[in-house]
Structure 1
Amino acid sequence: MRTATDLDLPLALDRTDRSPLQVQLASALRAAVLDHRLPPGGPVPATRRLAEQLGVSRATVTAAYEQLVGEGFLEARHGSGTRVSTHVGALPAAPPVARSAPRQPMAVRAAADLRPGRPDASRLADAAWRSAWRSAVLAAVPDSEPPLAGLPALREQVAAHLRAARGIAADPAGVVVTAGTSDGLALVAHALRAQRHPDGAPLRVVVEDPGYPSAARCLRRVGAQLLPVDVDDDGLLVDQLPASADAVLVTPSHQYPWGGVLPLERRVAMLRWAREAGAVVIEDDYDGEFRYGAAPLPALASLDPSRVVHVGTFSKVLSPWLRAGYLLAPPPLRAELEAVRVDLGVPVGGTLQTAMATYLAGGGLQRQVARARRDAAHRRAHLQALVAEYPHLRARGAAAGLHVVVELPDGADAAAVVAALAADGYLVADLTAYAVARADLPPAVVLGYGPATLDQLRGAVAALARAAAQDG
């Protein structure tokens, strides 16, 4: 059986070319993947071996490999080296040159799902991840349910994560383990309604418009009355907050879906409003790990921990498959949150919590965040450059997160453009799907790039540009 070091892979680098060697090497390897000289799932040469073969530094080969990992052509697997991504198998190999090749039936290509909310989980299962799960599975299984607020070990690790990554003086006693953002929001809504409206009156919650549809559905499901407030390029328009409300749900780190980062002066003004209105601020930090370039602004929970419920999730940096998250609650709300858990039960299994606690304690999450952020930054830069090639398109909201909003020409029918992209094999979202009450949103699509390959992004933007030009 041939191994990675036995592969006969002729690669030529031109040292008279101004292009850096690592760029040339990445291009040559990409071509070898696309024409299946490097087959899907197969190994690539070890970095040291290939560096010796080409007469370049090992760092040059490593940089080329890292670029292709970020593009989705290669996968780095701990313990088994670097391999060609199995996803490349969906791409047809370049046909051999022939004077008269027989016609082949057109292959049906699976749709590329570029709707927002999906992370890249391809590099998650490293040694630390497998070890954490192995120890959790081998541990003795208790004959009782997990603690109402979550395993103490996991709550300790979440608090440490919030202190290090968000600058929040988090007390483990205020951490509640959740089954993701929706579970956390429902838990907070139930607790607030029981605390503020024991007579059964609806909870009045300010929400961003446009905003997160799942959050709106969740709040409506628990009987909340939604009070939509418009957003602009910087996020929620704080000066439009109503005189009174029970709570405000806000995404200050990266407004969903518009993409604005709430300025410090608005954060301070919102907290002032909350104190005067007697309201609770629910800070949805759904993808706060993905920040590019600019230093993060202080979390709302770090500015006023007595009035802010900080809601976080592992879905974007790990995977929504886990259904794992957390919230940090101020002291006045903790007893009511526990009472809700008594009534509804604990939705997160003990084995998952044990594995997560071990993974965080060993630094696995910190390393995964660094990998995921580096890969996402590469895709983001590529996507921005692609959109910039078309003057009739405009990308916005790319300062953070895993998606961008691409504005279309005035008068374009966004729904028709979304349908045209779906026909071309690219699934994106219409911005109007995020409206709560607004009917004045500009024509735009929301495009996620979390798990996308560069080829998928290139094809999607080209298809988007064609559809927008035809419809506009």
Structure 2
Amino acid sequence: MVRFVDQIGRSRVDQSRDRSGKTAGVVARVRALVQDGTLTAGDALPSTRVLAAELGVARGTVVAAYEQLDGEGWIRTRQGAAARVAAGVGAAGRASVPHGPGVSSPAVRGPALHGPASAVPAPSVSSPPGRLLDARPGTPAVTAIAPKDWRAAWRAAADAPLRNALADPAGLPELRAQVAAQLGLSRGFAPDVDRVLVTGGTSEALSLVAEALRNHLGRTPRIAVEDPGYRSGRRAMTSAGADLVGVVVDEDGIDVDALAAAGPVDAVVVTPTHQYPLGSVMPVARRHRLLAWAGRTGTLVVEDDYDSEFRHRGAPVPALAALDTAGVVLHVGGFSKTLDPRVRCSYVVLPSGPVSGAVTAARTARGPVVAETVQVALAHLLRTGALRRHLGRVRRDYTHRREAIATRLAGVPGLEARALNGGLHAVVTWSGPATARAVVARTARSGVLVSALDEYEVTPGSAPAGVVLGYGGLTLPELDRAIDALLGALAAR
């Protein structure tokens, strides 16, 4: 810490600068010290108060700088502890820095805060790939949660009294109550606790719904799904005995006219908040059209509220369940993208219609699927506000990564970056003859794994040529490496 203060204190920040300029100067200095090896992974930074006094700036300036550096992945801050340089950055792992409104200038080399700046060199595609980097979608920033909050949740689970009883198939009442309360705060509707059922992930939830429909109808249910769309969910419903029909999506989500033209269906599964994988957001007008159609036809609408927690641009859009007046929406949410997919815990909120009893019966018949210790830990994270604090932190991180992708790919001829309004992945499409599978194979040879967009198709040829790049679990240096590998693969087309 002393070494850092000595370095950064060689020149004071120009008092004539506005606050944003001063913040940019602090950010640039820290980046430079990390890049040239003065600061290394794990080194503690001075407190915001100490550094502000050393530089002669307001403490809020340093707080804003630390928040930006944390969001970009250069440092890690924890409440009540010293900020430290993050692992994986430094002289051997340079991070790209996004530009644009509200984003600071590139890093400067050397100790001075004044004088000419030089841009951070873009990593070379010829650099050694190192370990295999998994940039496929589906993994959030698992390690970003505060360790003290994570440990406290599992201590609460260990402290729960032992009892001679079977677990409730519907789920732990405390967790269901916390889920209902959270939905009231974040999604605009607060269901009764007895309408909330715990499931073993989103795929198990969809399988449960398909089984319930089959039992309720006494025949094979016909379920409409987005094309392209969530492939694991499709497999789960097919294995539960459903017939699926793909319906095209456009820039506003599932096409309601195409859905109506597909013939009678018993249910439709949609991802309206952030269509998976293309990233479109269903506007309120189309949400009302979908619900009106479902009410007229008696069709169950299964709302997979995928990525609703991570909205990077634009105002939040209400959940379908919050707009439902006919009792046709079954809402699905979970903790895989907000916390850790290995927890394997999701939930459904039952509609008021007749399918509700069938889903409850199917849940009872299958029995509990999520260990009570896991449910106690999750309830603790919700009740104490730890999960909300975690979400606030990673939203900032994901927004910085989203900006890095947009900046790197902006203006690249023939490329289009999609799905960047929210969520944890980007879709990169291109014009020309190169197939997605060929680009994925070439990217893999550079040590980076991405997914082909056509893997999500229901009907062959329904998706454009493209790949899906997950960035939730990547640091900025890793994201740079993934983009380099992808651009190199596309250049070889």
TM-score normalised by structure 1 residue count: 0.89
- Structure 1 unaligned residues grouped into runs of 5+: 95-105
1:10 is matched with: 7
Q: Deviations over 1:353-391 (max 9, x none)?
A: 122222212222222222221221121122111110423
The answer for the alignment partner of 2:360 in structure 1 is 338
Preserved contact between residue 145 and residue 350 of structure 1 (Cα < 8 Å): no
Q: State the distance in 1 between where 2:294 and 2:363 align.
A: 26
Distance change in 2, residues 1:147/1:376 (3 Å): same
C-alpha distance in 2, partners of 1:287/1:35?
37
For 2:428, the equivalent position in structure 1 comes to 406
Judging changes above 3 Å, is the alpha-carbon distance between structure 1 residues 38 and 353 closer, same or farther for their aligned structure 2 residues?
same
State percent identity of aligned pairs: 44
Q: Is the 8 A contact 1:5 1:49 kept in 2?
A: no
8 Å contact kept, 2:5–2:54: no
CA distance in 2 between counterparts of 1:219 and 1:250 reads: 14
Distance 1:435 1:293 in 2: 27
Match of 2:392 among 370, 384, 388: 370
Q: 1:177 aligns with which of 198, 203, 206?
A: 198
Aligned to 1:101: none
Q: Please say if residues 272 and 282 of structure 2, whose CA atoms lie closer than 8 Å, have aligned partners that are also in contact.
A: yes
Match of 2:280 in 1: 260
CA contact (8 A) 2:88 2:477 kept: no
SS of 1:367's equivalent?
A: helix
Aligned to 1:289: 309
Q: Secondary structure at the match of 1:312?
A: strand
Structure-2 change in CA distance of 1:117 and 1:250 (3 Å): same
1:452 deviates by 2.1
**Cα separation, 2, equivalents of 1:414 and 1:93:** 28
- Does residue 232 of the first structure (1) align with residue 250 of the second (2)? yes
8 Å CA contact 1:44, 1:83 repeated in 2? yes
Determine whether 1:251 maps to 2:265: no
Aligned counterpart, 1:272? 292
Equivalent-residue separation in structure 1 for 2:130 and 2:323 (angstroms): 49
Residues 183-223 of structure 1: CA distance to partner in whole angstroms, max 9, x if unpaired?
Answer: 211111111111112xxx32211000000111111111112
Aligned to 2:43: 42
After alignment, is 363-372 or 5-14 more displaced?
Answer: 5-14
Aligned length: 454
Matching residue of 2:119: none
The offset of 1:226, in angstroms, is: 0.8
Q: Does the Cα contact within 8 Å between 2:93 and 2:477 map onto a contact in 1? A: no
- Is residue 417–residue 468 contact of structure 1 (8 Å, CA) maintained in 2? yes
**1:385 aligned to 2:403?**
no
Distance 1:151 1:224, change over 3 A: same
Distance 1:321 1:376 in 2: 20
1:445 corresponds in structure 2 to 467
Conserved 8 A contact 1:283-1:300: yes
State the shift of 1:249 in Å: 0.5
Shift of 1:246: 1.1
Equivalent-residue separation in structure 1 for 2:5 and 2:396 (angstroms): 31
> 1:155: which partner in 2?
176
Q: 1:129 to 1:459 in 2, by over 3 A?
A: closer
Match of 1:213 in 2: 231
CA distance in 2, matches of 1:431, 1:136: 40
Cα deviation for residue 307 of structure 1 reads 0.8
**Structure-2 separation of matches of 1:39 and 1:263:** 46
Structure 1 residue matching 2:224: 3-state secondary structure? strand
Q: 1:130 to 1:35 in 2, by over 3 A?
A: same
Amino acid at match of 2:227: D
Q: 2:337 matched to which residue of 1? A: 316
CA distance, structure 2, for counterparts of residue 346 and residue 302 of structure 1: 27
Correspondence 1:303 to 2:303:
no
**CA separation of 1:93 and 1:309: change in aligned 2, threshold 3 A:** closer
Q: Which residue of 1 aligns with 2:479?
A: 457
Whether contact under 8 Å (1:408, 1:414) holds in the other structure is: no
Query: Could you tell me whether the CA contact under 8 Å between 1:390 and 1:465 is conserved in 2?
Result: no
Q: Is the 8 A contact 2:36 2:90 kept in 1?
A: no
Question: 1:279 Cα deviation (Å)?
Answer: 1.5
What secondary structure, in the 3-state scheme, does the structure 1 residue paired with 2:280 have?
Answer: coil
Work out the CA distance in 1 between the residues paired with 2:220 and 2:81.
Answer: 55
- How far off its partner does 1:335 sit? 3.0
The 1:34/1:334 distance shift into structure 2, 3 A limit, reads: same
| 8 A Cα contact 2:274 2:307, kept in partner | yes
* One-letter amino acid of the counterpart of residue 200, structure 2: A
Letter in 2 for 1:273: W
User: How far apart are residue 34 of structure 1 and its match?
Assistant: 3.3
